[in-house]
Structure 1
Amino acid sequence: MVAAALLFLLMVCSVCEKAAAERKLVYVTVLFRHGDRSPVKAYPTDPHQESAWPQGFGQLSQEGMRQHYELGHFLRNRYKEFLNESYDRHEILVRSTDYDRTLMSAEANLAGLYPPSGRQVFTPNLQWQPIPVHTVPQNAERLLSFPLNDCPRFKQLMNETEHTEEFLNVTTTYQDIIELVRNRTGLAKTTVESVWSVYDTLFCESRHNKSAPDWVTPDVMEKLRVLKDFGFQVIFGVYKQQEKSRLQGGILLGEIVKNLSKMAVSDPKQRLKLMVLSAHDTTVAALQASLNVFNGRQPPYASCHICELYRDDNGSASVSMFYRNDSTVAPYPLQLPGCSLDCPLEEFVRITKLSISEDRDKECQVPSEGREKEVIISLAVSGCLLFLLIALLLGVICWQKEPISNQGYRHVINQEVGEES
């Protein structure tokens, strides 16, 4: 009996090992937020204006450089059996938004991912080599910068979100802190959605050991943090999340799914293995919201969303996702709702299709019902004006055709009409 049990156990282990050996990593997409930076802006009464920061507002700090250099090392260790040890331009493609902090984050990351060795060392004692980072102008960015403000329907959804019970409850609950920020910062207008910028400024200043005003207590910072996180939820969720995703993060998700489907087909000529995307907290949140795996909190500096594509010997493919938002622990797996952790590609495509628009320009238009109402109202108003104009013209014509002998009587009628009106 014991021998039979041992034999069965060995058979199970053998099958598991064989299954593991058959599953081969073939392609990876990595999306990360830039590293630590200076504030994007200061509020009017802020004692630390732009001159207080070495490179000005919105710039990557040395701490941010270190964060991405460390993330690059992590990626090197994670994929040391997958990627070539030295840089190979056919294996990796890097794209960044056109901001100094994201471009520099990508470069710092690549320094950790591909330290030069052998023939790639072009200057002794310099553990760095130039690797291309591609970008497009900010006004042309449609893949990595969210939320996009070119969509009337999304603006309508945001307006409707502000009238939801959840939004109104949060506004009421934190009205005191919203008013405090307005009174203390000199800002003309503060809302649930706008106070995040004040928190961001104060957070950046605290990380760089700059003194805070007396009104910024730990309790105030905690309340502002809650509002900041809620601001992310408002943009990408709270109300009609899937439709918002189709108009925002679904754009990036659609591109990732398209690449996964392409890479799942075995092609000896296809040498690309790693797609690196350097962007922002809103980019990571937008993608995760479209996948319905967003945890509702602002992605921290150098946080990293990983999509890994595996192919089996029988030709089937699967997708595994991971999120690294803490450099002290291993990335934790993300499970696409409705699928397993190792999600079959065909299921991944089927489930995510609901968050990807096939015609975003069309979906961005305000729903036809609203336009029809506007047209009906416009036609009704135009019809009334036309009717009054015709009546006025007929009245003038009739007045001109009346006999001169009736002028006195006509004068009395006009007077009565004038009194009635």
Structure 2
Amino acid sequence: MSSKRTSFQERSLLSYLSNTYCYCTSSPSSSSLDLAANLYMSEQHHHEKKTESDQDTSSSSCAETNPSSPYELKLVQVLFRHGARTPLKSIPDVIEAEWVPTLLEPPAHCHINYVVTDLHGGPKPPAPVEDSYRKNTLTGGTFPGQLTTVGMQQLYELGKRLRRKYIEETHFLSSTFSPAEVYVRSTNIVRTIESAKCLVAGLFQQKQKDPVPILTTEAESEILYPNYYGCKLLKILGSHRWAESSTLPDIAADLQSIQSALGIPAHQHVDFILIRDDMVARETHGLPCPAVLDTWRNKVEKRAVDMICHVYEPSKRENLQLCVGPLLHILLSNIDEKVQATSSEPNRKLFLYSAHDTTLIPCLMALGVFDMMWPPYAADLTFELHQHRQTNQSYVKVSYVGQDLLIPGCSGVYCPLEEFKQALSGYTLSSELYKSLCDSTEELSKP
């Protein structure tokens, strides 16, 4: 692992941000749906990471495959981003890409039988975010935000990587999908549902006895992304951050310069997240991109991250709590139920959560390991629960895009469960407390 990443991991999140101040640029629509859609904007070319060469990571590379390892794998939870997709919006007044329907054709090997339900097995809830995409059509005839063939293949490959580790190498999972063993949840958006389907196809190679249940929930109660649609307090905080971003001088100056270089009139609404979203989507699918972006690419990447960092503002605990607190609480609850043997599904071994870049970024911030790089398509954040064979003590190991992470506050890559809980204690929120805070209109008191 690079020295830059190692030194980052050794710092707390707040001390890192004190040295790397995050800016923002511009404000999206004031409506909750438009704000939610803006925060889905995405995509990053893969940034390679070397494996950390300390003793903990060396032992973790063989712990699951070596029967003599002191650690026994008990539970896996994978939070992953959807695959490559059509852009949410096109950069205005530049050469347009043709987003034709053939870019969305599903590969045969990604096909499985599946059913989408609510969290209790009932009918699939309404999907207002997805409905908002269907109100617009991109040049070429497709809708914004749709998973492409490239994206489907990316999730299939992620499924194959998980298969190699958890089925072929460790025999942790059965080779055939079993709903008693595997839980699949997705945001109620077509691209994440299809991403979950493709991952399962790669993981189990289309081996299933019954349709795979993919669970979703209504927009108002979604916790797999920062919910500006359903949390009033978060909407207030988030809207303020977006509005404030347009006044930050460095972002504003760079935005004015790139608008001029692209020939975009000053009255056109554009920001670095929008530009990045369209740019990366085009690059990923081999579609024409304005030549001027070649010289602006690194600046676009940096400013997009600066924007989202400013919006989430991890140095303000209440904001990050409302973004990911309920999700972190569920992840920890799943761990506790396995450790204490209190789960209603005692055979469950794998939780799959199909989500967004705007899920992964605040999670990485809360863990103290956000590296100031936008999560690539199909990025995965994996939480493994292990039990020491001799002491029976529980440990959590976290990896991101296949590389183990040292969480600040943890004594090793294999983090004792109590240390892991303490590291996240400032951000986790029970569903009851989350609802109470969301319904309030006053900011949380600082710790």
TM over 0.5: yes
Larger Rg: 1
Aligned to 2:124: none
SS of equivalent to 2:198 = helix
The alpha carbon displacement at 1:322 in A equals 0.2
Among 60, 81, 84, the residue aligned to 1:33 = 81
The answer to whether 1:143 aligns with 2:223 is yes
Query: Structure 1, residues 227-266: CA drift from partner, whole Å, max 9, x if none?
Result: 11112212223641x2222111112111101111111124
The alpha carbon displacement at 1:288 in A equals 1.5
In structure 1, what is the Cα distance between the partners aligned to 2:196 and 2:434?
29
The answer to whether 1:335 aligns with 2:406 is yes
Aligned to 1:189: 269
Q: CA, structure 1 residues 315+230, in 2 after alignment: closer, same or farther (shift >3 Å)?
A: same
Alignment of 1:146-225 (within 5 A): 146-155=226-235, 157-158=237-238, 168-171=248-251, 174-177=254-257, 179-180=259-260, 184=264, 188-190=268-270, 194-213=271-290, 216-225=292-301
In structure 1, what is the Cα distance between the partners aligned to 2:336 and 2:444?
37
SS of equivalent to 1:134 = strand
SS of equivalent to 1:249 = helix
Query: Structure 1, residues 274-311: CA drift from partner, whole Å, max 9, x if none?
Result: 00001111011122122222222211000000000012
Aligned to 2:199: 109
Among 58, 63, 71, the residue aligned to 1:23 = 71
The answer to whether 1:283 aligns with 2:359 is yes
Q: CA, structure 1 residues 26+106, in 2 after alignment: closer, same or farther (shift >3 Å)?
A: same
Segments of structure 1 that go 5 or more residues without pairing to the other structure are 1-12, 122-128, 325-330, 371-421
The answer to whether 1:360 aligns with 2:431 is no
SS of equivalent to 2:369 = coil
CA contact (8 A) 1:75 1:113 kept: yes
CA contact (8 A) 2:409 2:420 kept: no
Q: CA, structure 1 residues 60+344, in 2 after alignment: closer, same or farther (shift >3 Å)?
A: same
Greater shift in the superposed pair: 76-85 or 45-54: 45-54
SS of equivalent to 1:174 = helix
Q: CA, structure 1 residues 339+158, in 2 after alignment: closer, same or farther (shift >3 Å)?
A: same
The alpha carbon displacement at 1:189 in A equals 3.2
* 1:134 alignment partner AA: L
Q: CA, structure 1 residues 162+101, in 2 after alignment: closer, same or farther (shift >3 Å)?
A: closer
What's the C-alpha RMSD, in Å, of the aligned pairs? Answer: 3.4
Q: How many residue pairs were aligned? A: 335
In structure 2, what is the Cα distance between the partners aligned to 1:210 and 1:153?
40
The alpha carbon displacement at 1:206 in A equals 2.8
SS of equivalent to 1:271 = coil
Query: Structure 1, residues 14-47: CA drift from partner, whole Å, max 9, x if none?
Result: xx99995442111110011011111112244243
Among 54, 60, 64, the residue aligned to 2:151 = 64
CA contact (8 A) 2:83 2:377 kept: yes
The answer to whether 1:100 aligns with 2:181 is no
CA contact (8 A) 1:147 1:248 kept: yes
The answer to whether 1:317 aligns with 2:407 is no
CA contact (8 A) 1:232 1:296 kept: no
Query: Structure 1, residues 136-156: CA drift from partner, whole Å, max 9, x if none?
Result: 23x234211225344454455
CA contact (8 A) 1:58 1:101 kept: yes
SS of equivalent to 1:197 = helix
Q: Using CA pairs below 8 Å that are at least 6 residues apart, which structure has the higher relative contact order?
A: 2
Q: CA, structure 1 residues 83+19, in 2 after alignment: closer, same or farther (shift >3 Å)?
A: closer
* 2:408 alignment partner AA: P
More helix by share: 1
SS of equivalent to 2:287 = coil
SS of equivalent to 1:132 = strand
CA contact (8 A) 2:73 2:386 kept: yes
TM-score w.r.t. length of structure 1:
0.70
